[in-house]
Structure 1
Amino acid sequence: MRRSLLLAIAAVTALIVSGCSPTAPAQGPSEGPQIVVTTNILGDVTRQVLGGQATVTTLMQPEADPHSFEISARQAAGMGDADLVVSNGLGLEEGLQQHLDRAAAAGAPMLVAGDEVDVVPYSSGEAEGAPDPHFWTDPAAMLSVVNAIEAAAARIDGVDAGKLAVSADAYRAQLAELDAEMTTAFAALPSERRALVTNHHVFGYLAARFDFRVIGAVIPGGTTLAAPSAADLRQLSDAISSAGVPTIFAESSQPDRLVQVLASEAGIDVKVRELFTESLSRPDGAAPTYVDMMRTNTQRIVQGLAP
């Protein structure tokens, strides 16, 4: 691998690691039940399940990185006073765990979504065998999370269980429809074209559910905070060439410059397309809700991998 590629990779990696997401703005006190959610994906799902019966405060801004986003001291303190704190778990919120531990110690009811799903381990890379926290790439796994959110919310004073059941059922119907759409769309791809490469390992659940192969990732671990070595990049380049991968998918929460450098400097003839894999977009973007995100991703994956 050429020295220019290694220097470019190092420079881009430094920019990505140092460019942590901005802190979400603090929100003033609200009346009624208070639910605090760490990631914006789970924030949207929680809001849909509650159907307006509680104030849902999401700590992670749109287009942020769940591995590195930070919160203010006021937000951290507010977690301990919440009627429910919903987190992803499985090691995703790397910079937030101390605050979650403090909230639990303060007596806040906690729901760790990762505890509610059938966990898929990483199949390759530095995190091989460790629990994969990216369960939302499979909408069927999210049904288990919805059930857990409904059960936890039903125990909150001020939440009407009857209304909650109606809103939760309506959202379950949306997820079932989404799952059927994804199944049909991916079935149109020949099996030899179902090969995925992205910034870091994020597609394990989608791959297991819809019969894809995860060829590799530019960052070989399960977090965006790691950095690839020359050997990692050489191995990935060879794997991409051998598999005939036509498109590498870059995540919206991380700059795609690392992937672009790999594609252009390593002599790999592939396209680079953006997916919303770890964060929702802003309201005017292509993925303002979880369902929108999954539909957009499905469309882009099919377009990127179709013969």
Structure 2
Amino acid sequence: MRGGQKRRLGLTAVRLAALVAGTLVGCAPAADDRPLVVVSTNILGDVVGELVGDEAEVVTLMKPDADPHSFEISAQEAARLRSADLVVSNGLGLEEGLQQHLDAAAVDGVETFVAGESIDVLDYREGDAAGMPDSHFWTDPARMVDVVDALQEPLGALPGVDRDAVDAATASYRSELEALDAEMTASFSAIPDDRRALVTNHHVFGYLAERYDFEVVGAVIPGGTTLAAPSASDLADLVDAIEETDVPTIFAESSSPDRLVQALASEADVHIDVVELFTESLTAPDGGAPDYLTMMRVNTERITSGLSS
């Protein structure tokens, strides 16, 4: 091959390499320069997303249909947690599998917001967790209003965020929570007084019960976490309570297997239905409870129907 041809081929190769490199750069995603908010649970992740919108990048660690008591994260997710502008968690002992990472981020100086510190906390009344704080405050939308109000300031103060946009979104979402509370009050008022009793996988309805005047008869798992296990005497006591109160329905959480609830129903010498509720986790978009407001409305309809029949 002559020298001129070699030079032309060499120049062509250089131009081709440059074109390929430029194409790859053009296809690469642009760096996201928005502030980063990392949220522990998907329920709070949905709420934070409603308040901050596109003003910040919101990363939710808990996947749909997961158990908040036991889910874990990857090393990459833990690194993002420590690099966040704000970390939002539930607190009150809920994120048992994640707490070490939340603590590490706080030690590293990451700004944190713990939702449980902004509400009037209830304690568990029975079981192994009696006297300990109940972490399931989101079953009461009025307490979620308190969380939303407390989130407004740290979200609005994030670098580069339009505070007015956050304030407007917060006011709008607060109105939606207040409307939800009114809907739940009206729906539950149709349940007869002698049917206002709740039995579920574990103690998750303390806040809902206080807000809407229910009695929590008991739970298959007698503590505040799904990581506990019931004893034979626990199941026997619960069967007695069900028979005494004559509840027509018991409720199984979507994030926990309902085999224990089914077994309990078979032990009670009465016909009793088992109805699934979405209590501790949101679902995928097609799973029935893709956001907090929908989750609460679906649960309200199912509780009302189950206890009114």
Question: What TM-score comes out, normalization by structure 2 length?
Answer: 0.89
1:114 is aligned with what amino acid?
Answer: G
1:138 lines up with 2:146 in the alignment: no
State how far apart, in whole Å, the 1-side matches of 2:270 and 2:60 are.
39
Which residue in 2 is equivalent to 1:297? 299
Q: Which amino acid aligns with 1:179?
A: D
Correspondence for 1:114:
116
Aligned counterpart, 2:290: 288
Give the total of aligned pairs: 280
Note the C-alpha offset of 1:207.
0.2
Listed as ranges, the matches of 1:1-307 within 5 Å are 30-307=32-309
For 1:130 and 1:268, the matched residues in 2 are separated by 33
Query: Alignment RMSD, CA only?
Result: 1.2
Q: SS state of the match for residue 55, structure 2?
A: coil
Distance, in Å, in 2 between the alignment partners of 1:34 and 1:147 is 20
- Residue 29 of structure 1 and its aligned partner are, at CA, apart by 7.1
The higher radius of gyration belongs to 2
Matched residue type, 1:306: S
In structure 2, stretches of 5+ residues that fail to align are 1-29
- Asked if the contact 2:119/2:143 (under 8 Å) is kept, the reply is yes
Alpha carbons of 1:30 and 1:72: their partners in 2 closer, same or farther (altered >3 Å)? farther
- Provide the C-alpha distance between the structure 2 equivalents of 1:31 and 1:189, rounded to a whole number of angstroms: 51
Deviations 1:88-135 (A, max 9, x none): 000000011110010011111000000000001112222112110000
Secondary structure of the residue aligned to 1:215 is strand
> Within 2, Cα distance between the matches of 1:224 and 1:268?
26
Distance in 1 between the 2:79 and 2:287 partners? 31
Task: Report the AA paired with residue 125 of structure 1.
Answer: G
State the alpha-carbon separation in 1 of the partners of residues 236 and 32 from structure 2.
53
Greater fraction helix: 2
Looking at structure 2, the residues matched to 298 and 278 of structure 1 have their Cα atoms a distance apart, in angstroms, of: 15
Tell me how far apart the structure 1 counterparts of residues 31 and 107 of structure 2 sit (CA, whole Å): 22
Indicate the structure whose relative CO is greater, using CA pairs within 8 Å and at least 6 residues apart.
1
1:237·1:268 contact (CA, 8 Å) conserved in 2? no
The superposition leaves residues 130-166 of structure 1 with CA deviations (integer Å, 9 ceiling, x where unpaired) of 1100000000000011011111112211111111111
Q: Give the secondary-structure state (helix, strand or coil) at the position aligned to 1:51.
A: helix
TM-score normalised by the chain length of structure 1: 0.89
Counterpart secondary structure, 2:200:
strand
Residues of 1 paired with 2:236 and 2:284: CA distance? 35
Q: In the TM superposition, what is the alpha-carbon distance from 1:267 to its structure 2 partner?
A: 3.5
- The C-alpha deviation readout for 1:2-36, integer Å capped at 9, x for no partner, is xxxxxxxxxxxxxxxxxxxxxxxxxx974311000
Task: Give the Cα–Cα distance (whole angstroms) in 2 for the partners of residues 268 and 276 of structure 1.
Answer: 25
CA contact (8 A) 2:239 2:267 kept: no
Q: Report the Cα distance in structure 2 between the residues aligned to 1:246 and 1:256, rounded to whole angstroms.
A: 17
CA distance in 2, matches of 1:263, 1:86: 38
